[in-house]
Amino acid sequence: MTRSLRLRLSLWIAAFIAVVGLAAGALSFALAFADAHELQDDQLRQIAALASTGRISPGARDMGHGDGEPESQLVVQAVPGPAGPMGPLPAALAAGLHTIEHGGVQWRVAVHVLPSGQRVAAGQPTAVRDEIASNSALRTVVPLLVLLAALILLVTLLVRAMLQPVALLSSEIDRRQAGDTAPIEAGAVPSEVAPFIASINGLLARVRQLIAQQQRFIADAAHELRTPVTALGLQAENLERAEMSPQARERLAPLKLGLARTRSLLDQLLSLASQEAGAATLEPVALDAVVWDAVRDLLPLARARQVEIAAGALEPVTLMATPAQLGALVRNAIDNAVRYSPAGGTVEVSVTASAGRALLTVDDQGPGLAPEEIERVFDPFYRVAGAPEGGSGLGLAIVRAVANRLGGTVVLANRPTGGLQLRYQQPLAPF
């Protein structure tokens, strides 16, 4: 059975209205049918009584206007008397109402006694009477059926309107980003749903507290580790200036490389914790200018890896962000492309705007990704097989965290010509 509360309410209420309405309609039809027969009996008595005044002589037929309508099919005969449409009426036919049959046709007959003692019968076929009564009863029931259909439609619309706030609230929650743990505003939802919303808000508060604890732990751990790692780096530099054998100097190089990688990891951990922290005040930021700054900062790394950074279309685009957040997103996106491009490769960066949205694309000439890894590379510390040295698996995680904060979307896709393309989209700043 469907789990839709709105549908179930509508169906049950509509079914109840339909059953009650049909029962009322059947009762109304039966009562109207009986009333029509009673009225027809009264008309037969009146017609038979008119015969006593001489206005209608026995033997007259077709008491209407000759138009062939069922209401005009009335017959007056003497009792006893010559055989007519109702056949020879028996002499024992007493005054009052009777139902007789002649020639396979049933008749409803009203017998009236004249002052002279002669009896006169006014009759009408029962089939005609039933047709007249049915038409009269249907005219009584049809408005009730129309009202019944209108009532079912009205109830369905009312149920939908009353539950619309719940549907709107559901849509609002669906539009939230993964890290948005702000309390849900109950608004105009029914009071019966309010306890459920309060429970969800309580759960969101606990999740928010847990996330904050994890972020504080990462930030504190990274901050506490920076000082000793920096000190180790300085000691390694001092040691490098001291006299030592070629073998010792050769072993010192991996130590310095490991310390540099650790410093980079700690910096990225602090950056990730900062991006996942509370929202900052947004301001208009020129994306094209941020791209130029990031390219200048990453040129030494690109030269060291023998990779060229090429600028494609760089349209002037302004977004609502903070320079630090947008800079972290762009630098990590380009840094990731440079690290995975082979020596002699090219990383192309472009900025365009269309349909009210800015688009940043970063194309590399690396090996690309397997389909099952395209989403996993956004997870912190996830590194694909054959990843270059010096990486920490946090660059794309920072890109996704910043994108969620700024209300943008970031996707990766393999290029048909080889390599990977990163696409970041965000609404343009309103002016």
Verify that 71 and 10 share a domain, yes or no: yes
Residue 221's pLDDT is 66
* pLDDT exceeds cutoff 70 at 45: yes
| Structural domains in the chain (count) | 3
Q: What's at 349, amino acid-wise? A: V
Say whether both 33 and 128 belong to one domain.
Answer: yes
Q: How far apart are the first and last CA of the chain?
A: 51
pLDDT tens digits, 185-194: 777 777 777 7
> Which of 129, 148, 167 finishes a domain?
148
What is the overall mean pLDDT for the chain? 76
Q: Which amino acid is at 326?
A: L
Strands in 96-102's sheet, in edge-to-edge order, are 75-79, 119-125, 105-113, 96-102
Look at residue 67 in the predicted model and tell me its pLDDT. Answer: 45
**Domain end call among 104, 133, 148:** 148
287 and 384 co-located in one domain: yes
Residue 406 has a pLDDT of 84
Judge if 15 and 87 occupy the same domain.
Answer: yes
Q: How would residue 51 be classed by pLDDT, with cut points 50, 70 and 90?
A: low
Residue 271 in domain? yes
Looking at the fold, whether 133 and 262 belong to one and the same domain comes out as no
Q: Could you tell me if residue 125 is inside a domain?
A: yes
Last residue of a domain, one of 278, 312, 331: 278
Candidates 28, 33, 24; CA nearest to 135 is: 33
Confidence of residue 426 (pLDDT cuts 50, 70, 90): very high
Contacts of 176 (CB under 8 A, 6+ apart): none
pLDDT digits (tens, 9 = 90+) for 262-303: 766 666 666 666 655 555 578 899 999 999 988 888 888 889
Measuring CA to CA, which residue among 72, 82, 115, 77 is closest to residue 98? 77
pLDDT computed for residue 82 by the predictor: 65
Residue 28 in domain: yes
Quote the pLDDT of residue 100. Answer: 72
In eight-state DSSP terms, residue 118 is -
Is residue 237 domain-resident? yes
Contacts of 230 (CB under 8 A, 6+ apart): 263
Instruction: Mean pLDDT check: name the lowest of 128-137, 204-213, 306-315.
Output: 128-137
User: Cβ–Cβ contacts within 10 Å for residue 88, how many?
Assistant: 13
Question: Burial, 160: exposed, middle or buried (Cβ in 10 Å; 0-12, 13-18, 19+)?
Answer: middle
Q: Is residue 264 part of a domain?
A: yes
Rg (CA), the chain: 47
Identify any residues that bridge with 267 across adjacent strands, giving them in sequence order.
none
**Rounded Cα distance, 290 and 321, in Å:** 11
Residue in this structure with the two tokens 């029931």, named with its chain if needed: 141
Considering the chain, what percentage of its residues have pLDDT values greater than 70?
75
Could you give the strand order of the β-sheet that contains 308-314, starting from the edge strand earlier in sequence?
308-314, 346-354, 357-363, 420-427, 409-414
Residue with tokens 């009863």: 137
Residue 134 lies in domain: 5-148
Tell me: do 16 and 129 sit in the same domain.
yes
User: What phi and psi, each to the nearest 5 degrees, are found at residue 322?
Assistant: -120, 145
Question: Do 24 and 52 lie in a common domain?
Answer: yes
Neighbours of 92 (CB within 10 A): 7
Residues 204 and 236 reside in one and the same domain:
yes
Residue 157 inside a domain? The answer is: no
CATH number of the CATH domain containing 188: 1.10.287.130
DSSP string for 220-258: HHHHHHHHHHHHHHHHHHHHHHS---HHHHHHHHHHHHH
Q: What is the DSSP letter of 386?
A: T
Q: Could you give the residue ranges of the DSSP H alpha helices within 276-407?
A: 287-304, 323-340, 395-406
* Position with higher pLDDT, 231 vs 404: 404
| Co-location of 316 and 259 in the same domain | no
How confident is the model over 212-225, as pLDDT tens digits?
Answer: 777 677 666 666 66
Q: Are 389 and 352 in contact (CB under 8 A)?
A: no
CATH number at residue 317: 3.30.565.10
Question: Which of 110-114, 126-130, 268-272, 374-378 bottoms out in mean pLDDT, i.e. has the lowest?
Answer: 268-272
Contacts of residue 278, defined as CB under 8 A and 6 or more positions apart, other chains included, come to none
Q: Copy the structure tokens of residue 34.
A: 């009986």
**Segments of 114-209 assigned E as strands:** 119-125
Q: Indicate if 302 and 418 belong to the same structural domain.
A: yes
Q: pLDDT over 90 for what percent of the chain?
A: 9
Q: Are residues 295 and 226 located together in one domain of the fold?
A: no
Shared domain for 273 and 368, answered yes or no, is: no
